[in-house]
Homo-oligomer: A and B are copies of this chain.
């Protein structure tokens, strides 16, 4: 199965994108709702939780791991790659590759949580791929709570988005990376407010495309996955009403969340 983990429910946008881009593969999701958010925790703790999540996914049949959490991707990817004998993909790398390839005026915007922006991970990656680039970051700490409340089309959300995006607009970016797995749910509100000429890079879609390329190249894993029963499973370490609603909203259908003490 394709194992995916996140600190919460936002990573389900990655699972949904993988379902669309790589249809027919069985997904195994783990959302660590009980310990969310990872962004405010120490690197050691984030690595420890990431190991536990990986162990959980492997013990339930995963043969490839996708880190759908930005904090875990920036902090734990190297550790997991060196410690585990399975392929480990992360949600950050594909989006930075895509952004560096897409920009024409070499001005790229990044929006993310305060933790992601402070880590400078997107900026460092993009500048290492494309040294001539100017990367402008904007922390948008209210967007995750707004999405988690399901306020996806409210006037307040639109006003707050306009306020966050305005500085990026002034900087004349032509490419904007949605550097948080919750943000694709706001894509339709973001596009008109940042301007229709700005290309949005959805990190969830990019990691799904990257996975597809990976599977096309690695026939062994691909064949193994294709032989499996294509029933996906979604595990969470805690389950509340808003979490279940958000999961259903992301998939556009009823998602059965299995609660585990992980």
Contact = CB atoms under 8 A, between A and B. Distances in A.
Copies in the complex: 2
Contact of A156 (B40, B114, B159): B159
A148 B37 CA distance: 15
A35 to B, nearest CB: 8
A155 to B, nearest CB: 7
Contacts of A146: 142
A35 B240 CA distance: 20
A142 B149 CA distance: 8
A42 interface: yes
A119 to B, nearest CB: 12
Contact of A149 (B35, B36, B141): B141
A252 interface: no
A163 B154 CA distance: 11
Interface in A18-59: 33-36, 40-42
Given A34-B40, A35-B41, A155-B159, 18 more contacts: A34-B41, A34-B42, A36-B40, A40-B238, A114-B240, A114-B242, A118-B240, A141-B148, A141-B149, A142-B142, A142-B146, A142-B151, A145-B145, A156-B156, A156-B159, A156-B160, A156-B163, A159-B159
Contact of A40 (B33, B41, B42, B159): B33
A159 B156 CA distance: 7
Nearest to A237: B42
Contacts of A36: 40
Contacts of A145: 141-142, 145
A95 to B, nearest CB: 25
Contacts of A240: 114, 118
A254 B160 CA distance: 29
Contacts of A118: 240
A13 B207 CA distance: 43
A165 B242 CA distance: 20
Which one of A142, A146, A151 has the highest number of Cβ atoms from chain B below 10 Å of its Cβ?
A142
